[in-house]
Amino acid sequence: MESNIMTLKEKLAYLESKSYSGNDLGVTYTKNETTFNVWSPLAEKVVVNLYETGDSKENSLIQSYPLIHENSVWTTSLTGDFENKFYTYTLTIDGKSNETIDIYAKAAGMNGNRAAIIDFNKTNPENWTEDSHVTQQQITDAFIWEVHIEDFSSDENSGISPENQGKYLAFTELGTTYKNEKDFATGVDHLKELGVNYVHLLPVFDFENDEESADYNWGYDPKNYNVPEGRYSSNPRDPSVRIREFKQMVQSLHAQDIGVVLDVVYNHTLETEDSSFNLTVPDYYYRQTDTGEFADGSACGNETASDRNMMRKYMADSILYWATEYHLDGFRFDLMGLHDVETMNVIRTALNENGLQQVILYGEPWDAGSNEIALPNIAANKGNTAHFMDGIAIFNDDFRDPVKGSVFNKTEGGFLQGQSGNGIRDVDVMAGISANTIGAAAAEYELAEKTWARNPTQVVTYNSAHDNLTLYDKLVESTFDKPYFHRNDWVIQINKLAAALLFTSQGVLFMQAGEEFGRTKFGDDNSFVSSIEINQLDWSLKKTNSDLVDYYCGLSTIRRKFSPLRDATAQTAKAITFSRDAIENLIAYTIPNQLAEEGDWNWMAVVLNSSYEPHEVTLESHTGDLPTHWTIIADKDHAGLEALGTVEGNTLTVEPHSALILVS
């Protein structure tokens, strides 16, 4: 078949007809034989080039071997032991030959231009076979902490050993403290203190970079989806080292009962025309516009085509691979709105069928401006939540924005800054507290368009993530025209209110690393290539803002103790009752415990006052009689299981810019 005389539409239809469903794409290594399989139905010729070394700058070709075309897959098996050799493919298509890395590469040399043939059994750390997934009973039990590998430990005062700072292995260190002072735990010990049960890592698959340079990058420049990034390993030149160290990181977090989530960025690749995907099967893996140009819904130069069979399969294969080979516990999909719903459901099903129902999936339910998803496929965005299978959650910007102001306007405030009434509506925050659940109490306030979730398992509830300003910076920018201070008492006070709101809301709890100690990037709202000094966690803030850290820890304990806050069903969301006599910038709600077990609190009440005055409010419930005696467990300054006072009756006064949490 001559592909250059076909129209694009004919070509794509032909390629779809040649889809391959086998699970043997890539390289299969044994001591006696290595097999190569590559899907490329329109290629005229494919050879595999074997190399002695992994750096593509080194001319170390051993020999090239032809592959033969069988059922749309090009294949060959070489007899002998090729362990620790490297390879590329040269594909000839429409008379043009191009050398490229295998898109199914699972190990690679430095900078990811040559795939490596390795024995994966040798990459397993000691006792790896005893390691297994760390998961929660339900996704609403998750407390997810989002961090970049280098941000976590690059601070020279982190107490983490210098050779592991900025590396995978920083997560294997225990007992670390700020400046080695015993009172301020850092690293993994800090996570234990906070009660985090999932660490969500910004991209750690192999992205395009110079792995031996000092340049900082978040990593949203995908290159090899199934290879760990070399930069975070102790030796990017040895393909096994990054794999072993990655597994050590996972194993160590698992030993502390912390699951590991990967941020996966299948929606685009850094390169387009010359990417490995496009050199392997031209025009197939990316969507086109009506005029035949590459579509760019990612605003990064292209958008991949999850709605085509082999891209959909690629994503499902890749997720299943990471979940099994690396024992990963969750995946966060970047710009999930560029994928189609069917693909997300296929991935969920693939995990479920492999006994991985507990592996969590969530994503950004938007694109970066457009998508060219082909009907009848539909985008995996917020508007299509109803079409998701159970077990796929989305980031809730309907919570994030009314709470603290739009992320697209630095100085805009929201409820927290006392700005309700000024285009900001308390009712939007109320809908968020109920995880925007259909039929929730908030619907009484005519919020039909703001109630789109079947239940809280579909909703990631958050105040801050790596994108946009940190919570601290947003509060500075939107309340004060002042330079940044490491300690801004006013902002810390509002931050406590933000935390009380977050931890008493329905949904999957998520936050950016350092939110709990007032992390600042000094107003940098897009620090993807900013310096490490801007990006890294400054562990001294844990000491400076220790009262804020204590407040978060206390709230985390309260959330663990009161299971209705983590209800996977819509039952609690529907039972939450908001006080109707509350004025603007004051939200009060009661949460009955319909899941009560012996010894549990039967009720929780939360009052959030973001106004500038103390206010009185009367609690209400539409599900039953409220108790008349309450114990305060969180106030303006403290949160935890300790009683801070009592309230008789259901009318109480709350101080400005503060929260009260009461239980009975």
Catalytic residues: 334, 364
Least separation, in Å, of the C-beta of 186 and Ca ion?
A: 27
Least separation, in Å, of the C-beta of 148 and Ca ion?
A: 14
Cα–Cα distance measured from residue 87 to residue 604, given in angstroms and rounded to the nearest whole number: 61
| CA 321 vs CA 11, 310, 351, 505, 521: distances in Å | 30, 16, 10, 34, 35
* Cα dihedral 495, 500, 504, 505 sign: negative
Contact 267, 188 (CB under 8 A): no
Site string for Ca ion, 507-546 (x = CB under 5 A): ----------------------------------------
> CA 225, 227, 228: angle at the middle one, nearest 5?
110
Site string for Ca ion, 568-607 (x = CB under 5 A): ----------------------------------------
Instruction: Please identify, using beta-carbon distances, which residue of 67 and 262 lies nearer to Ca ion.
Output: 262
Instruction: Please identify, using beta-carbon distances, which residue of 206 and 296 lies nearer to Ca ion.
Output: 206
Instruction: Please identify, using beta-carbon distances, which residue of 3 and 209 lies nearer to Ca ion.
Output: 209
Token digits of residue 276? 């490995």
Least separation, in Å, of the C-beta of 176 and Ca ion?
A: 27
Instruction: Please identify, using beta-carbon distances, which residue of 57 and 182 lies nearer to Ca ion.
Output: 57
Least separation, in Å, of the C-beta of 528 and Ca ion?
A: 15
Least separation, in Å, of the C-beta of 346 and Ca ion?
A: 28
Instruction: Please identify, using beta-carbon distances, which residue of 231 and 287 lies nearer to Ca ion.
Output: 231
Is there binding between residue 150 and Ca ion (CB under 5 A)? no
* Cα dihedral 622, 627, 632, 633 sign: negative
Cα–Cα distance measured from residue 118 to residue 110, given in angstroms and rounded to the nearest whole number: 14
Q: Coil, strand, or helix at residue 527? A: coil
Cα–Cα distance measured from residue 185 to residue 188, given in angstroms and rounded to the nearest whole number: 8
Instruction: Please identify, using beta-carbon distances, which residue of 143 and 322 lies nearer to Ca ion.
Output: 322
Within 354-454, residue ranges assigned H as helices are 397-404, 426-433
Least separation, in Å, of the C-beta of 432 and Ca ion?
A: 38
Least separation, in Å, of the C-beta of 108 and Ca ion?
A: 8
* Cα dihedral 286, 291, 296, 300 sign: positive
CA-nearest of 41, 19, 100 to 278 is 100
* Cα dihedral 162, 168, 173, 178 sign: positive
Cα–Cα distance measured from residue 225 to residue 319, given in angstroms and rounded to the nearest whole number: 10
Measured in residues, the chain has a length of 664
Number of residues this chain uses to bind Ca ion (CB under 5 A): 2
Least separation, in Å, of the C-beta of 6 and Ca ion?
A: 35
Least separation, in Å, of the C-beta of 206 and Ca ion?
A: 4
Instruction: Please identify, using beta-carbon distances, which residue of 270 and 438 lies nearer to Ca ion.
Output: 270
Cα–Cα distance measured from residue 496 to residue 488, given in angstroms and rounded to the nearest whole number: 12
Instruction: Please identify, using beta-carbon distances, which residue of 159 and 230 lies nearer to Ca ion.
Output: 230
Of 84-143, binders to Ca ion (CB under 5 A) are none
Least separation, in Å, of the C-beta of 207 and Ca ion?
A: 5
Tracing tokens 């660490």 back to the chain, one arrives at: 199
Least separation, in Å, of the C-beta of 381 and Ca ion?
A: 30
Query: Please, which residues have CB within 8 angstroms of residue 51's CB and are 6 or more apart in sequence?
Result: 58, 60, 61, 62, 85, 86, 87, 88, 114
| CA 307 vs CA 59, 279, 314, 346: distances in Å | 39, 20, 11, 11
Cα–Cα distance measured from residue 158 to residue 178, given in angstroms and rounded to the nearest whole number: 5
Question: What number of other Cβ atoms are within 10 A of residue 133's Cβ?
Answer: 18
Dihedral, CA of residue 142, residue 147, residue 149 and residue 154, to nearest 10: -130
Instruction: Please identify, using beta-carbon distances, which residue of 217 and 479 lies nearer to Ca ion.
Output: 217
Question: What number of other Cβ atoms are within 10 A of residue 639's Cβ?
Answer: 25
Instruction: Please identify, using beta-carbon distances, which residue of 274 and 449 lies nearer to Ca ion.
Output: 274
Token digits of residue 607? 């009052």
> CA 591, 592, 595: angle at the middle one, nearest 5?
120
Within 102-161, residue ranges assigned H as helices are 149-153
Cα–Cα distance measured from residue 632 to residue 601, given in angstroms and rounded to the nearest whole number: 12
Question: What number of other Cβ atoms are within 10 A of residue 651's Cβ?
Answer: 12
What residue number has its CB nearest to Ca ion? 206
Contact 189, 548 (CB under 8 A): no
Instruction: Please identify, using beta-carbon distances, which residue of 11 and 223 lies nearer to Ca ion.
Output: 223
Instruction: Please identify, using beta-carbon distances, which residue of 269 and 358 lies nearer to Ca ion.
Output: 269
Contact 501, 471 (CB under 8 A): no
Cα–Cα distance measured from residue 199 to residue 230, given in angstroms and rounded to the nearest whole number: 20
Burial class (CB in 10 A: 0-12, 13-18, 19+), 212: exposed
Cα–Cα distance measured from residue 430 to residue 595, given in angstroms and rounded to the nearest whole number: 22
- Please compute, for residue 436, the number of CA atoms within 13 A of its CA located in the half-sphere on the CB side: 27
Least separation, in Å, of the C-beta of 230 and Ca ion?
A: 5
Radius of gyration of the chain from its Cα atoms, rounded to whole angstroms: 26
Of 175-234, binders to Ca ion (CB under 5 A) are 206, 209
Which positions lie near Ca ion, rule CB under 5 A? 206, 209
